[in-house]
Structure 1
Amino acid sequence: MRVIPAVLSMAILPAMLAQQAFSAEKRFADATETNDQLMKLYDKAGDVCLRNPSRDVHVTVACMSMTVYGVALNERGWCYGKKQEANAFKKWHECEENSDRFSKSSLAGF
């Protein structure tokens, strides 16, 4: 019976370590934009992405850009909104335990 937990831990542990390494990786460590500039770029992309019902290429690019700006800000310790918070009340703030974060896995296609 103890073999199963040992086998599971051998399968799960490498996956957990890989996730931690991916989380620690900073894709935008050399970015020269200030936090304020990134927040403004995020808002500008959001104006196109969130307020446009079409899925034209420029709208899709704006939506993808929002994710890139969001990940870059997350890497710097800034988050947009908190879990269980309505979108209308979300704002940029220094990340806390219950803050929303952008998924780095969504950048895999870039």
Structure 2
Amino acid sequence: MRFASTMLLSAFVTGLSALHALADGPLPFPDGRYVTDQSICGLDSAEMVDRYADTTGRFVRIIQGRTLEDGYELSCDISKVRRSGSDVTFLATCAAEGETKRINGHYVAIDEDAFAVSGSVFRRCASTPQETHADGLDADTDEIIELYADANDRCRGGSGDDPRTLGACGEREEYFTILTKRGWCYGREGEAGFQMEWHVCGPNSVRD
């Protein structure tokens, strides 16, 4: 991550919002590692960086007391935390690559173990409630992948003039859109078709 990129830093704490002068305090979530998909909880920090490099911050937040990190290079001191309903605002004083920047942050609390940032839901590793997604669907990502595979088989294997084939192809596109909005990609650069599979998007992922 290049610290000079205001866009990436703002995405880390989610945009600019009105800041209220309040007493210092930690974010209203337990300490831990928060991820966009629980399947990556098994990866340690080095494995995450090896796989996702400077895009790690798209998938990870680490809360430790009054410190918020992205699992890569960015570390922020948190102060002036305020919660109003599900809205959590705070001041993040962030350091990376020898520079310091102050950003007004805004997270949306989903429950005590999860929050939303720019449409992505981060849930604490080792917490076990039902998977929650910003798209409002109860189905977890593995289920959506299975539905996509079934629709893809029916789309590719059906007759071109059969309405059921057209319906299956439409279903496939809907599932594809849901998965990509959840931060999943199909295939990596340089892979042949038979090698491609769904995975959490990384630097070498194919993005359609």
TM-score range, shorter chain: 0.5 to 0.7
Match of 1:67 among 156, 170, 173: 173
**Mapped contact 1:81–1:99 kept (Cα < 8 A):** yes
**TM alignment of 1:34-49, pairs within 5 A:** 34-49=140-155
Instruction: Name the residue aligned to 1:30.
Output: 136
Who is 2:157 aligned against? 51
**Distance across 1 between alignment mates of 2:155 and 2:177:** 17
Question: By how many angstroms is 1:31 displaced?
Answer: 1.6
> CA shift at 1:83, angstroms?
3.6
Which among 170, 187, 200 is matched to residue 94 of structure 1?
200
The range that moved more, 50-59 or 68-77, is 50-59
- Matched residue SS, 1:98: coil
Q: Kindly, what percent of the aligned residue pairs are identical? A: 32
| Structure-1-length-normalised TM-score | 0.60
Paired residues of 1:49 and 1:62 also in contact (CA < 8 A): yes
Could you tell me how far 1:71 is from its partner in structure 2?
Answer: 1.1
Count of residues in Structure 1 that have an aligned counterpart in Structure 2: 78
Q: Report the alpha carbon displacement of residue 69 of structure 1 after superposing the two structures with TM.
A: 0.6
1:85 CA drift (Å): 2.5
CA RMSD of aligned residues (A): 2.2
The CA distance in 2 between the partners of 1:86 and 1:46, in whole Å, is 17
Uncovered stretches (5+) of structure 2, i.e. residues with no partner: 1-117, 121-133
Question: Structure 1 residues 64, 100: CA separation in 2 closer, same or farther (over 3 Å shift)?
Answer: farther
Whichever of the two has the greater Rg, that structure is: 2
- 1:84 Cα deviation from its structure 2 partner: 4.0
Q: Distance in 2 between matches of 1:51 and 1:71?
A: 21
* Cα distance change, pair 40–57 in 1 and its aligned pair in 2 (3 A): same
* Greater relative contact order (Cα < 8 A, sep 6+): 1
Q: Is the 8 A contact 1:79 1:101 kept in 2?
A: yes
Asked if the contact 1:77/1:95 (under 8 Å) is kept, the reply is yes
Q: Distance in 2 between the 1:89 and 1:30 partners?
A: 31
Bigger share in helix: 1
- Higher share of residues assigned strand: 2
SS of structure 2 residue aligned to 1:33 = coil
Q: Shift of the alpha carbon at 1:101?
A: 3.4
Task: Give the TM-score of the pair, scaled to structure 2.
Answer: 0.34
SS at match of 1:82: coil
